[in-house]
Structure 1
Amino acid sequence: MLFNSFTFAIFLPIVFFLYWFVTKGNLRFQNILLLVSSYFFYACWDYRFLFLLIFSTLLDFFSGIKIEEARTNRAKTFWLWLSIGINVGFLGVFKYFNFFAGSFAEMIGGFGFKVDLWTLKIILPVGISFYTFHGLSYVIDIYKNRIKSERDFINYSVFVSFFPLLVAGPIERATHLLPQIIKERTFNYTRAIDGLRQILWGLFKKIVIADSCADVVNQIFNNSSEQSGSTLALGAVLFAFQIYGDFSGYSDIALGTARLFGIELLRNFAFPYFSRDIAEFWRRWHISLSSWFKDYLYIPLGGSRGSTWKKIRNILIVFVVSGFWHGANWTFIIWGLLNALYILPSVLIKTNRVNLDVVAKGRLLPTIKELGLIGVTFGLTVIAWIFFRSTSVGAAFDYLLRMFSKSLFTVPSEIPYVTLFLIAAFIIIEWLGREDQYALQKFGFKWARPVRWSFYFVNVWLILFFSGNQHEFIYFQF
């Protein structure tokens, strides 16, 4: 079930009505309803993989209890690695088996040996990377004595499979979400309206911005050998806005939807394209994943402590793993490696935590220096996105070579004026709302009510107008 579908537009109000008016505030009934609704939401994609979600939930639920009850470190370690091994094993089979098999065949073929390649003809279960990471963080936190195990299976299952975050995040922590699940919740009108406002902005990002960019991007990337350098540059920039509108739009809808049920999810985006360096970009892009890798991989490896070589090693490992998390293709690994190379200099000279505050805070416009830094950071990010979008490493390099040719300084063969106008309006609104949790949180509050509601109406009208050009969320494939 897609957030931008007619089915979800029916599903959400029904669950909302049952949640607040039929359960009558009974926490047990509310959580059971959330669990059943979440499983139905997931089954609408493919019911055959619902068993995998339930099995993963059972595995981590009982592993958490066993880790907590273990009397020796050896027993605790056994249950931890059993959970990690099985979870990562499922992830490896469904997501990475064909990649490793193909890479092995290519390597052996390079030595003159012919290999009959056998691959699994399976569908990647949607959201498997996200709910697997939910479970892994849970058992690791119990092992590290950060939290106690949850003894109520319904409560734990809601934590893993809460439908707003189930298929594309944000990646939640038990320390943040579980206390909200086991605590009584009462309806808050102001919070609900705020949630609806964030849902509206998320739908605008996805349907009006991302989906408008998608057709142009697909046309340019699929026919890159026929395009001028300027057209390829336009395609790369539009893809940057497509993936941002698509993924941050999903996160906004998820956070807004959760707020309707009295639950606050982790913020996942903080206006990343207004970043002044790559380190700041990664503090603002896919925040839940970046913090997950920081806490469960980077810091255990030693973080920024130790020798220069260890710092370089740790950063390379984290970004390469982050790239590989996104997909079983060398393009994602190169994308991760490229971002690691971007961020390494600032880490080594210890300038990676210079830009911690919002750019131009308290001011309408940035300085020339800030604008230049934002432009350079965005340009580097766009180049990296070319690898993310391309079907192969060869195609990405070919795209770059054609883009940085003499024809880069020509006029693009076709200019999508409407899409560019919408992006310009989008950037202005995002800039004006950059000090809030999301752009529309307080946007227009000083306007007269008729003006503010007219603005909302225009947003709704644009969403409906562009809704016929529907594309699946990009991060569903991860």
Structure 2
Amino acid sequence: MLFNSLDFGIFLPVVAVLYWTVFNRYGVRLRNAFLLACSWFFYGMWDWRFLGLLIFSSTMDYTLGRLIGRTDVNDRRKRKALLVVSLVVNLGILGFFKYANFFIDSIDGLFTVFGMELSLKTLNIILPVGISFYTFQSLSYIVDVYRGKIEPSKDIIAFLTFISFFPQLVAGPIERASHLLPQFDDLKKFDYDKVREGIVEVFIGLIKKMVIADRLAVYVDSVFQEAAAGSSAQILGFPSVLALIFFAFQLYIDFSAYSQIAIGTAKILGFSLCTNFRRPY
């Protein structure tokens, strides 16, 4: 479900209305359970097959965080072993999905240099959306617990919601547990001004994405495609130079827009996310 899609345009108002009129009135745990269900639905709209991966990763780190918290601070070996489990499993999963085919191609190419044809076949791997964001957010929590910067969460619903929180699940910004996790422990009071600010943030982000970034992409893509099929003169010509400049702005504005929509969406629900993309490059 893209932020600039009709689906999200329907999803967000429905969630916000139910959130403020029903679920936020009957306790933090029910409110968090509702947000968690919405977040899992939001993620599942991309590809339900990878929802289990998100649940596994976040549940594992919740459990490891509790175990680290229960381990004596002087038992550094056990605490470090628990940290290593999280690092190995999370980075292993991330590395498999992002770099498995790269390593296969590299090994195949290396043996080819020495005259050995392995003809290894690459894997048909789909990269789960947002896997880098939720992996590093979860890892930052484990590292902070290990270092004693924060106490491990004792509420699994709040923790799972912290990792899966749909406004910043697939495009960031990555949040430190010390900033976002405590926000799931208190009931929110409806603040008209903050909700209005959030709506404005969302609209500004949509304008940046759809009106500016996507329009720049049309020119950039067309020039790059022509340059790829053309001569060196075309590649080094003014249109290509202009396309490179436009691409720099497109890339920044695109990420900036998604971050702004995420921040605005969270603000509509009474949450505060860290400011991101304040200064490009």
TM-score by length of 1: 0.56
Give the drift of 1:113: 2.0
Residue identity matched to 1:36: A
**Unmatched 5+ stretches in structure 2:** none
Inter-CA distance 24–134: structure 2 relative to 1 (3 Å threshold): closer
Give the drift of 1:187: 0.9
Aligned to 2:5: 5
Aligned to 1:251: 259
**Deviation per CA, 1:394-452, whole angstroms, max 9, x where unpaired?**
xxxxxxxxxxxxxxxxxxxxxxxxxxxxxxxxxxxxxxxxxxxxxxxxxxxxxxxxxxx
Aligned to 1:46: 47
Aligned to 1:14: 14
Residue identity matched to 2:103: F
**1:123 equivalenced with 2:126 (yes/no):** yes
**1:92 equivalenced with 2:95 (yes/no):** yes
Q: How does 1:66-465 map to 2 (within 5 A)?
A: 66-71=67-72, 72-225=75-228, 226=230, 227=234, 229-272=237-280, 281=281
Aligned to 1:59: 60
Q: SS state of the match for residue 249, structure 1?
A: helix
**Deviation per CA, 1:141-196, whole angstroms, max 9, x where unpaired?**
01000001001110001110000100110011101001111122111111111111
Contact 2:183 2:271 in 1 (8 A): yes
Task: Give, in whole Å, the separation in 2 of the partners of 1:112 and 1:231.
Answer: 43
Q: SS state of the match for residue 223, structure 1?
A: helix
Aligned to 1:37: 38
Task: Give, in whole Å, the separation in 2 of the partners of 1:234 and 1:266.
Answer: 33
Task: Give, in whole Å, the separation in 2 of the partners of 1:136 and 1:152.
Answer: 18
**Deviation per CA, 1:272-303, whole angstroms, max 9, x where unpaired?**
2xxxxxxxx4xxxxxxxxxxxxxxxxxxxxxx
Residue identity matched to 1:239: F
Residue identity matched to 1:138: Y
Task: Give, in whole Å, the separation in 1 of the partners of 2:243 and 2:189.
Answer: 47
Residue identity matched to 1:216: Y
Contact 1:186 1:262 in 2 (8 A): yes
Residue identity matched to 1:247: F
Give the drift of 1:223: 2.2
Contact 1:209 1:241 in 2 (8 A): no
**Unmatched 5+ stretches in structure 1:** 273-280, 282-478
Task: Give, in whole Å, the separation in 2 of the partners of 1:28 and 1:18.
Answer: 15
Give the drift of 1:116: 1.8
**Deviation per CA, 1:238-265, whole angstroms, max 9, x where unpaired?**
1112111211000000000000011000
**Deviation per CA, 1:54-79, whole angstroms, max 9, x where unpaired?**
00011100010111112311110111
Q: SS state of the match for residue 237, structure 1?
A: helix
Task: Give, in whole Å, the separation in 1 of the partners of 2:157 and 2:179.
Answer: 17
Task: Give, in whole Å, the separation in 1 of the partners of 2:143 and 2:167.
Answer: 24
Q: SS state of the match for residue 45, structure 1?
A: coil
Contact 2:206 2:257 in 1 (8 A): yes
The higher relative CO (CA closer than 8 Å, separation ≥ 6) is in 2
Residue identity matched to 2:62: F
Aligned length: 273
**Deviation per CA, 1:330-387, whole angstroms, max 9, x where unpaired?**
xxxxxxxxxxxxxxxxxxxxxxxxxxxxxxxxxxxxxxxxxxxxxxxxxxxxxxxxxx
Q: Percent identity?
A: 48
TM-score by length of 2: 0.94
Residue identity matched to 1:268: N
Give the drift of 1:126: 0.3
Task: Give, in whole Å, the separation in 1 of the partners of 2:113 and 2:176.
Answer: 44
Give the drift of 1:118: 2.6
Task: Give, in whole Å, the separation in 1 of the partners of 2:138 and 2:23.
Answer: 28
Task: Give, in whole Å, the separation in 2 of the partners of 1:24 and 1:255.
Answer: 20
Contact 2:24 2:187 in 1 (8 A): no
Residue identity matched to 1:48: R
Give the drift of 1:24: 4.6
Residue identity matched to 1:131: Y
Aligned to 1:398: none
Residue identity matched to 2:85: L
**Which is worse superposed, 80-89 or 220-229?**
220-229
Contact 2:24 2:188 in 1 (8 A): no
